[in-house]
Amino acid sequence: MRKPQRLVIGAILTVTATIAALVAGVTGPASAAPQSHIVSSYDDDPQQVTLIVYSASMNRNIPVTVLTPRNRAVASPTLYLLNGAGGGEDSATWDARTDYKKFFANKNVYVVTPIGGAFSYYTDWQRDDPALGRNKWQTFLTKELPPLIDGKFNTTKRNGLAGISMAGTSVLNLAIAAPGLYKSVAAFSGCARTSDPVGQQYIRFVLDRGGANMENMWGPLDGPGWRANDPYLNAAKLRGTKIYMTSGTGLPGPHERLDDPFVEGDPFFLANQAALGGLIEVAIDQCTRQMTTRLAQLRIPAKVNLRPTGTHSWGYWQDDLHQTWPQLARDLA
């Protein structure tokens, strides 16, 4: 299942950066600031379209892949499906690691995935970061992109949102920030705590991979910015949104086998998945259980799959997508 990316992401990002530089070069100081818009559209194959979208909030172009419905003549809902810590810029993506294209090929839904946002938590950072630059992903995903998607495609304007790992935290915060935009939200192996020591340690682990400064994201670690972006503390704002969450215990499960298609017989890959993936999922499971308890206290319904085994890895996230989709589809109908 660890196949190469279908898109040459590096080339796309280089081209879009060049376009953005050219636009900046010809835009004089007296010119009005450009609004977010679709720069170009490419048909990658009969099922997939890649859009280049200019984000006014980040002043750069963002590639966005769109899987189109089986029947484009009929208005269809939209599922915004986010990648994990790599933001789709590496090989750990829905496209490269799962069967999501085949899975959605016979379904009437637009599946929209931005390419970018590595280590950003898909949030609006308080300050530009020397390593990651300007990140205003909450603005992009909740305000800039949806009207462009609805204007470009034959959508019903009914949206769902799902993400894994880092984005499993993000999807909860995005739903809180934009009430009513998403009918349902699915967090696969995402930590719903951000302002407590465990949650912040996990975020540090992610951001350190990108060389980012944590305080550039939401300010001082004991400050109000972190509490304002903690789904656990703000869980009451999820009332009215259908919620789905999953996690494993970190113990080896059905995908920790050499003959598993996600492992492809690689003993070193398997050892890393079992050890590091297991350790990460232990922390994620604690977060998920705490969030489950919090939602129950608030009497907010949620469907939670707390697996007795399973690591922080793609085999389980593909299973999560397959198993959760029928419920998401009903919410979007």
Residue 206 has pLDDT above 60, yes or no: yes
- Whether residue 310 contacts residue 281, with contact meaning beta carbons closer than 8 Å, is answered with yes
The per-residue pLDDT for 1 is 54
Say which residue, 222 or 8, is predicted with more confidence.
222
Say which residue, 16 or 214, is predicted with more confidence.
214
User: pLDDT of 4-50, one tens digit each?
Assistant: 444 444 444 444 444 444 444 444 444 577 899 999 999 999 999 99
Complete DSSP assignment for 135-188: -BHHHIIIIIHHHHHHHHS-EEEEEEEEEETHHHHHHHHHHHHSTTTEEEEEEE
Range of lowest pLDDT (24-33, 199-208, 258-267): 24-33
Residues 6+ apart with CB under 8 A from 14: none
Report the Cα 28 to chain-centroid distance in Å: 35
Q: Which fold has domain 9-332?
A: Rossmann fold (3.40.50)
Residue 123 has pLDDT above 50, yes or no: yes
E strands, the chain, are: 37-43, 48-55, 60-67, 76-82, 110-114, 155-164, 182-188, 242-247, 303-306
Residue 254 has pLDDT above 80, yes or no: yes
E strands, 68-150, are: 76-82, 110-114
In terms of C-beta density within 10 A (0-12 exposed, 13-18 middle, 19 or more buried), how is residue 193 classed?
buried
Q: What is the mean pLDDT of the chain?
A: 93
Residue 3 has pLDDT above 60, yes or no: no
Over residues 188-194, mean pLDDT = 97
Q: Is 189 a catalytic residue?
A: no
The per-residue pLDDT for 25 is 41
Task: Report the distance separating Cα 190 and Cα 202, nearest Å.
Answer: 10
Residue 289 has pLDDT above 60, yes or no: yes
Range of lowest pLDDT (21-30, 85-94, 299-308, 314-323): 21-30
The per-residue pLDDT for 27 is 42
Task: Report the distance separating Cα 49 and Cα 43, nearest Å.
Answer: 5
The per-residue pLDDT for 5 is 44
The per-residue pLDDT for 34 is 87
122 is written with which tokens?
Answer: 């898909």
Range of lowest pLDDT (25-39, 185-199, 212-226, 242-256): 25-39
- C-alpha closest to that of 172 among 151, 199, 148: 199
User: pLDDT of 136-186, one tens digit each?
Assistant: 999 999 999 999 999 999 999 999 999 999 999 999 999 999 999 999 999
Q: Is 264 a catalytic residue?
A: yes
At 218, is the pLDDT very low, low, confident or very high (cuts 50, 70, 90)?
very high
The active-site residue out of 36, 55, 120, 165 is 165
For a pLDDT cut of 70, what percent of the chain falls above it? 91
- Domain extents in the chain: 9-332
At 221, is the pLDDT very low, low, confident or very high (cuts 50, 70, 90)?
very high
The per-residue pLDDT for 24 is 43
Integer angstrom CA distances of residue 247 from 94, 187, 207, 281: 18, 9, 21, 7
The per-residue pLDDT for 252 is 98
Over residues 295-313, mean pLDDT = 98
